[in-house]
Amino acid sequence: MECLVCAETVSHVSVLPCGHADLCSLCTLRLRTVVNDKRCCACQTEAAEVYVARHREQEGWSPTFPKDLRRRAKSGEVHPMRGSKGVYFEEEAHRDEMDVKCALTCSVCYEKGNSNVKFNSMKALKAHLREMHGKFMCDVCLRGRQVFVTEQVLYTRSELNRHYKRGDTKGPMAEAGFKGHPTCQFCKKHFYSDQELYSHMQTKHLQCFLCKKARPNEYVYYKNLADLSNHFASAHHYCTHEDCKDKHPEERVFNSKEEFRVHYVQNHGESLSKNQRKQALQIDVNYGPMRGGQGHQGSGGGGGGGG
């Protein structure tokens, strides 16, 4: 039997109340404790409890969900997982193995056969890794990579620097095609993926709505409102009149000279003469090529055409 999630051969299968038993114990615990997803992968039913049993290859055997797991746990028939409600094991030894996987355990010591090197805080684990093994975990991966702490990749200082900028040369991240954590050039902050960076840029920084409308497939951002206002002033038609100073910058920028003129006359034209107002409201017209290949540029609201 292969696990529905990791496709590895299942040694211990997770049985849910809905009757489905498609995942290995490790993937089940990862989903429940790291991702906080207690749904069945097959039918999406929420499972308050899960029973982990050794998978048997014998013909006719099929895993079943036992009744009254809490009572069975009190009598010692099944073994509840420490610190994770609703997870019960057929075998105590496998429960202990999974406890180590889910705890703040030093993976270096664990691989050397010492499974008792556990810590009460991430800070203490990081200090141990640094001082005893010269190893570091990536803080961005700790936030974004949904695996157990014992499954996080460990790096030397130089490897960690490369990891941030260009990715890994070996290991699971390299196999997945990881090329480094994208960075916000304004905040100098790393993000786990391009999607997280995009969400950050959309919520923490600004885009020019006029440029976005004209070129929807371009993603140009400005650090703050001051930088966006400078862009409005240099690239578009930005009203700097005293009466507009308290308006939001997006309320006083215009895409065309004609739009700006209309705004100016309607909102700040009290000092203009009637003739000046009329001239200000005139529209510049660019005519396309006329017959004979001649073009024409004029001012005013009239039409024109080829003869």
Mean pLDDT value across residues 182-211: 96
pLDDT at site 297: 42
Task: Answer whether 97's CB lies under 8 Å from 89's CB.
Answer: no
Q: Which residues of 8-29 are buried (b: 16+ CB within 10 A; e: fewer)?
A: eebebbbbbbeebbbbbbbbbb
Higher pLDDT, 273 or 33: 33
Q: How many residues does the chain have?
A: 307
Q: What is the pLDDT of residues 76-95, one digit of tens each?
A: 999 999 877 899 999 999 99
pLDDT at site 287: 47
207 vs 219: CA distance, rounded Å: 8
C-alpha dist (Å) from residue 7 to 23, 27, 116: 9, 10, 30
pLDDT at site 47: 94
Of the pLDDT bands very low, low, confident and very high (cuts 50, 70, 90), residue 267 is confident
CA angle 114/115/118 to nearest 5° reads 115
Task: Answer whether 62's CB lies under 8 Å from 42's CB.
Answer: no
What is the pTM for the complete model shown? 0.75
Is 53 a residue whose pLDDT tops 70?
yes
Q: Which of 110-124, 138-152, 159-173, 285-299 has the lowest mean pLDDT?
A: 285-299
Q: Nearest-CA neighbor of 252 among 265, 238, 242, 236?
A: 238
